[in-house]
Amino acid sequence: MNSRILLSSPHMGENEQKYVKQAFDDNWIAPLGENVDKFEESIAEYVGSEGSAAALSSGTAAIHLALKILNVGRGDVVFAPTFTFIASVNPILYQGARPVFIDSEPDTWNMSPRALEKALMDAERNNQLPKAVIVVNLYGQMAKYDEIIALTNKYNIPIIEDAAESLGSTYKGKQSGTFGDIGIFSFNGNKIITTSGGGALVSSDQSFVNKSRFLATQARDDAPYYQHSEIGYNYRLSNVSAGIGRGQMEVLPIRVEKRKSIFEQYKKEFSTVLSVDMMPEIEGMSPNRWLSTLTLSNITDIGEIVDIIKQFNEKNIETRALWKPLHLQPLFSGTLVYFHDDNSSVSEKLFNSGLCLPSGSNMSSEQQEYVIREFKKIIS
């Protein structure tokens, strides 16, 4: 292949330029405007949120505002998965709070209800229950929300659902982003749809959405002059970027189906390769398959995964290791972590044996055939 096959590149539809042009024609380039309003409406309608949505500058900003809305502050504890991108957890540090990490479970690779229960029992004994639990839908795969929500309800702890990677996924017919007290999405350039950079916050509690909009526009009080009673942020999405988002929302169902078909083709082709296990899926789940991911049962060392990635690079194919668990990151050295199994970490096993393959909805069948062919050569 002469051109590089990327992991997940932006894929534009037919109407994005129309909405962006509208913003230029109206000279409405700054934050807010019709594109923002319509984009927010389309998100809320798609996921079936009882409240509305707030379009923001990033998914990270949405998590930060969610923590603020739930009054997470200095000295508080927030539970979060260890197996995720660091942006899921950095906002905890912004607030001066302390993360406690929860391991993955093998069925979905997401937060382990077993590990979460152990952590909650210990926290109750120590009189330091978390102020919130952040649950991530990894690589577009939903977590075991029935079990997780039962636990958080028992202890009366709110959930922030990090659905940055899972727009378009469902669990038992319910859309991703609507299981937590607050849900967040990302529209970064590599996500299933993009606004180039951007995010959103959704909630069935309209007061949470209203509060996020207030905080995201510098927390300006309702006064005839500039008055501020609390710290605010410049987190609103621009009207231009929201125009891209409007066009992308129109093709979201098509993008989801394409990503699913890419995953299924990999799964079919690798079914005879004994060392390959595609990311699992449990009954009732319908992941958007943002990224096609797998583990190699004959590999237990991240060094070998790095070597495989280098070989793919030589073939002009971008691949990536799975997320390095946060409890192994220098930034979080010494942070408390609860494992799914008493003597081993599921997330560490996944990191040491996992790989992400090109999954973009604009990848051609010829490109995928090339990836499959080279994969089989490298693995053999």
- What distance lies between CA 196 and its chain's CA centroid? 16
Give the C-alpha separation, 161 to 143, whole Å: 10
Phi, psi for residue 104 in degrees, rounded to 5: -85, 165
User: What's the topology of domain 252-379?
Assistant: Aspartate Aminotransferase, domain 1 (3.90.1150)
pLDDT at 50: 85
Looking at the DSSP bridge assignments, the partners of residue 160 are 134, 182
Q: pLDDT under 50 in the chain at which residues?
A: none
pLDDT at 157: 98
- Do 110 and 142 touch, CB atoms closer than 8 A? yes
pTM of this prediction? Answer: 0.96
Give the C-alpha separation, 30 to 19, whole Å: 14
Q: Do domains 16-249 and 252-379 have the same CATH topology?
A: no
271-306: string of b/e by CB count within 10 Å (b at 16+)?
eeeeebebbebeeebbbbbbbbbbbbeebeebeebe
Helix (H) or strand (E) holding 293: strand 292-296
Joined together, the tokens standing for residue 109 give 């690779």
Q: For the segment 133-174, what is each residue's pLDDT rounded down to a tens digit?
A: 999 999 999 999 999 999 999 999 999 999 999 999 999 999
- Do 144 and 110 touch, CB atoms closer than 8 A? yes
Helix (H) or strand (E) holding 327: none
Cβ-Cβ contacts under 8 Å for 97 (sequence gap 6 or more):
67, 72, 73, 74, 75, 76, 77, 78, 131
Q: Rg (Cα) of the chain, in Å, rounded?
A: 21
Q: For the segment 27-43, what is each residue's pLDDT rounded down to a tens digit?
A: 998 778 999 999 999 99
Contacts 24+ apart (CB under 8 A), 2-6: 2/316, 3/316, 4/316, 4/317, 4/318, 5/316, 5/317, 5/318, 5/358, 5/363, 5/367, 5/370, 5/371, 6/318, 6/358, 6/360
Q: How far apart are the first and last CA of the chain?
A: 21
Give the C-alpha separation, 247 to 187, whole Å: 13
Cβ-Cβ contacts under 8 Å for 233 (sequence gap 6 or more):
61, 64, 65, 215, 216, 218, 219
Counting DSSP H helices and E strands in the chain, the numbers are 11, 15
Listed by start position, the domains of the chain span 16-249, 252-379
Which of 229, 224, 167 lies closest to 198 in space, CA to CA? 167
16-249: which CATH architecture?
A: 3-Layer(aba) Sandwich (3.40)
Give the C-alpha separation, 338 to 345, whole Å: 9
Task: Cite the DSSP H helix spans in 317-356.
Answer: 346-353
- Do 111 and 100 touch, CB atoms closer than 8 A? no
Whole-Å CA distances, 253 to 47, 95, 167, 256, 351: 12, 36, 10, 5, 30
